[in-house]
């Protein structure tokens, strides 16, 4: 089981802000912004580079729900950033695909 599968199955505690049959969203343990949530497909895909055409629907759902969580947490009007890290240079540390939802402060560009 991946770390995030353990969170989804309640083997590891997390501050869960949204859940449905396909995805779960919970606050990042090391927040990089006042609001920092991870939106995760329950069925593990290691990283976006390994997603298959059959993952089309769940990937669309993931982004729709990330925007919905942003609205729910009240950062949709001020703005937010969605990030997917892929592989070593991308900064990936957990090999279970997830979207970072970051908001509550002004983001820099280009990212570090
Ligand atoms: P990434 O580096 O893109 O693979 O992001 C992984 C994120 O997962 C990182 O921001 C920290 C977060 N994280 C790691 N372990 C845990 C945990 O046990 N609980 C929670 N809530 N977040 C975690």
Give the start-to-end residue ranges of the domains of the chain: 3-103
Domain boundaries 3-103, CATH class: alpha beta
**Helices assigned H by DSSP within 9-105:** 56-72, 87-90
pLDDT of residue 81: 98
Active site residues: 98
DSSP code of residue 28: -
- Those residues whose C-beta lies under 8 Å from the C-beta of residue 110, and which sit 6 or more positions away, are none
pLDDT of residue 27: 99
- Pocket test of ligand 1: the residue of 24, 26, 29 to mutate, having most ligand atoms within 8 Å of its CB, is 29
Nearest CA to ligand 1 atom 19: 29
Q: How far is the CA of 10 from the centre of ligand 1 (A)?
A: 15
Instruction: Using DSSP, state whether 82 is helix, strand or coil.
Output: strand
pLDDT of residue 109: 97
Reported for 53-57, long-range contacts at CB under 8 A and 24+ positions apart, including other chains, are: none
pLDDT of residue 57: 98
Q: What is the pTM of this model?
A: 0.98
Backbone angles phi, psi at 8, to 5 degrees: -65, -30
pLDDT along the chain (112 residues), means of 10: 98 98 98 98 98 98 98 98 98 98 98 91
pLDDT of residue 46: 98
Helices and strands (H and E) in the chain: how many: 3, 5
């Amino acid at each position: 089981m991946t770390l995030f599968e353990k969170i989804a199955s309640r083997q590891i505690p997390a501050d869960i802000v949204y859940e449905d049959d396909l995805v779960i969203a919970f606050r990042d343990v090391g927040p990089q912004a006042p609001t920092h949530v991870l939106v995760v497909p329950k069925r593990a895909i290691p990283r976006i580079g390994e997603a298959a055409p059959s993952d089309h629907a769940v990937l669309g759902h993931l982004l729709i729900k990330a925007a919905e969580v942003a609205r729910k947490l009240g950062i949709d009007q001020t703005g937010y950033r969605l990030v997917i890290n892929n592989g070593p240079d991308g900064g990936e540390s957990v090999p279970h695909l997830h979207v970072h939802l970051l908001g509550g402060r002004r983001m820099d560009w280009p990212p570090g």
